[in-house]
Chain A
Amino acid sequence: MIWNPNKECMSRDEMHALQSKRLQKLVTYVYHNVPFYRNKMQGMDLSPEDIRSIDDIVKLPFTTKQDLRDNYPYGLQAAPASEIVRVHASSGTTGNPTIVGYTRKDLAVWSEVMARCLTAFGVTRDDTFSVAYGYGLFTGGLGAHYGVENLGATVIPASTGSTEKHIRLIRDLKISGVACTPSYALYMAETLEKMGLTKEDIGLRIGAFGAEPWTENMRKEIEERLGLKGYNIYGLSEIMGPGVSYECQEQNGSHICEDHFYPEIINPETLEQLPYGTQGELVFTTLTKEGMPLLRYRTKDLCTLYNDPCPCGRTAVKMGRIVGRSDDMLIIRGINVFPSQVESVILTMPEFEPQYMLIVDRVKNLDTLQVQVEVRKDFFSDDMGRMLAMKKALADKLKSVLSISADVKLMEPGSIERSQGKGKHVIDNRKLV
């Protein structure tokens, strides 16, 4: 099934024309409403009239996460505050989260693209669908929620946690689909087995999995243990949230909602646009966004775009799996974590040396984060209670900054390896290939 064949199956020429029209409108809009973009364009001797087709996008400036930080909280917002009806936020690296405001129309577009995704996965009005992404500032929960409502299926706002209760609801309410992170899906499988139930006891058919990188092997395992078909859904809060791209029944690359989010692949070093089929950094331009439209936002996600025809009938360009990052961001339990966030917390505590190491692992399908820090000699105490309090104080601060809990390990002074130049601060033991 296809939710919006007019858009999802548009001919490439029509799509090119639509994108060109929308880009022209967008550039005029941001030029007049966002001083940041106006200044950038003026600095490049560029005016909105210079953009005549989508191919002119290469003339436009890029936007980075740093730009969002520098313009915290509302500097890149184009719509007046009176038009903003909702705000989401993603974690920031220096204490400032990234704030994204949505107008009523933005939310309508979001529900539209989410309905496309869910329909591609096979969800219909007759389904009861549960959303087990976190509800709150994170875009996963509410984004998926309104998509299910828009489609007309019954939404169960399960959120995360209370996994046993959730599984009982899946059984009792005959829930046929679930949206969550792939690692949470594996945790659900484990809980199901622990409860003495089997996949036959529940009737899950469809899984919409995203917010963190996952592999074909994880897909096989989830499908096998939960008895469903698992589809990839991709998104990022800066652009919209979940729903930017989605897999079809082919399960071979994710179709991008290109009429709203224009994708490019660039060489992260030279910033030069690369042709389809070449791996590089994924860049998005929000063609229709009103609240916080972005020109050529660098996602730092590394992947490849494909434009070969898809048997499903959709004509939109597909993106392959995310194979890595062009920065040091980690995705742990679906949450973005930068080593510099940990560093900024450690620097506020005189008890610790400014040396640290993050050890990331996946234990029983759940991501774990250990933060190793060196205790300063002057702060070492013979009192075990004080040492444990020091450890807890750091764990609490990390939790509030990172939004996920970390296991703090106190180390002897000088025991963490010092490196020349840019320090190596991460050991990621998760096997994702």
Chain B
Amino acid sequence: MTIKQLSVFLENKTGRINEVTKILGKHGINMHAFSMAESTDFGILRLIVREVDKAVEVLRNENFAVMLTDVVCISCPNEAGSLSTILDKLAEQEIFIEYMYAFAEGDKANVVIRPNDIEKCVQVLQECTCNITNKF
């Protein structure tokens, strides 16, 4: 019930993100979501793609530091209060969220969550019949 997210280490340097997207584009790998966490001198680019193994391979071939991280992706109605209901449940069960990012399209919103305890997180989400996304 979890999916593999790609994390790529990047220096804060003009054009560096584009090098990643260019490589993925060249190999026909489509990105479904991504976010960037940054500090003053470096950043961590986090991506969700369908062809995970291929993406890792092509990026490593280009010398990028890449790792895979388990995350949970849920889909909820694109309306006020729907995310709050889910986060309430997670907080009640003391699940800590390290980071998350989201994107909405039409009547659906997709949310990627990196919790401290992924198994427990999945369990809580299933119990509240939340719509967990497995595949893009």
Contact = CB atoms under 8 A, between A and B. Distances in A.
A410 B12 CA distance: 10
A409 B10 CA distance: 12
Contacts of B64: 412
B63 interface: yes
A382 B7 contact: yes
Contacts, number: 45
A411 to B, nearest CB: 6
A384 B39 contact: yes
A411 B16 CA distance: 12
A384 B44 contact: yes
Interface string B63-74: 111110100000
Given A380-B9, A381-B67, A410 B42 contact: yes
Interface string A263-277: 000000000000000
Contact of B11 (A377, A383, A388, A415): A415
A384 B65 contact: no
A382 B5 CA distance: 10
Interface residues of A, number: 16
For the complex, would chain B's binding face be called helix, strand, loop or mixed by DSSP majority?
A: strand
Contacts of B46: 382
B63 A414 contact: yes
B98 interface: yes
Contact of B63 (A375, A387, A388, A413): A413
A240 to B, nearest CB: 41
B44 A382 contact: yes
B9 A409 contact: no
Contacts of A377: 60, 65-66
Contact of A380 (B11, B37, B39, B65): B65
A265 B106 CA distance: 80
Interface of B: 5, 7, 9-11, 37, 39, 41-42, 44, 46, 60, 63-67, 69, 98-99, 114
Please name the 3 residue pairs, one residue from A and one from B, whose CB atoms are nearest each other, closest first: A382-B7, A380-B65, A382-B69
Given A375-B65, A387-B44, 7 more contacts: A380-B65, A380-B67, A382-B7, A382-B114, A383-B98, A411-B11, A412-B64
